Structure 1
Amino acid sequence: MIPAQKASTGGSAPDAFQQEAERLQDLMQDKGELLLRVQTLRQGLSDWRTKLNDQVRDYQEEMGSLNTTLKTEVSQLRSEFNQLRDTLRQQMELTVSLANGEKKTDAASTVPQKQF
């Protein structure tokens, strides 16, 4: 350095170092705040994932329960339908049987009987 420059910058060097130190301190504080914010966001994300996983598990259990209930009800309805179909079939057979029996009795009553 030229001696003339030393004289002109000699008094401002501590000020420059002081400004750099303050700037470095501000940057370190900003870094700390950002790290804290990132940590808070990570914790929030972790909490959100935990809640989401709990909800998914609860909904899956509920859906499984509803599916089981639905299968049971469908099975019961099929059974009832089969019983109704069998009952209807029996009633129709009985009706046909009775109708055929009436025709036979009608036919027997309409046959002229010879008198001796």
Structure 2
Amino acid sequence: MGKSSVVFLDEPSTGMDPVARRLLWDTVTWMCKTGKAIIITSHSMEECEALCTRLAIMVKGKFKCLGSPQYLKNKFGNVYILTAKIKIDENEDKLAEFKEFIATTFPGKRSRVGL
């Protein structure tokens, strides 16, 4: 890696087994402690929480938020995405039951149902 003061890593632990990932994370942490700036792109929140002191989230190529992992978890951590496939026979009561279950399980949350 040379003596660069900035290191860019794109999805560094994608496809790694847990032992290799831990070794990589330890190496990245050590590099950071030596004064290097590490810029990581990742879809893994676990990886970001383990390695990052600040996160920037991009949507469609634009920065939408910036902050510490804890700040972003506090601000946006109450979001759930649920994808469900329901087989509806002749009776559509199953869909109504499912919608009611979601409404009572996650009260006060916005929901979108698409068929």
Question: When the two structures are superposed, what TM-score results if normalisation uses the length of structure 1?
Answer: 0.17
Structure 1 or 2: more helix by fraction: 1
Structure 1 or 2: more strand by fraction: 2
Larger of the two Rg values belongs to structure:
1
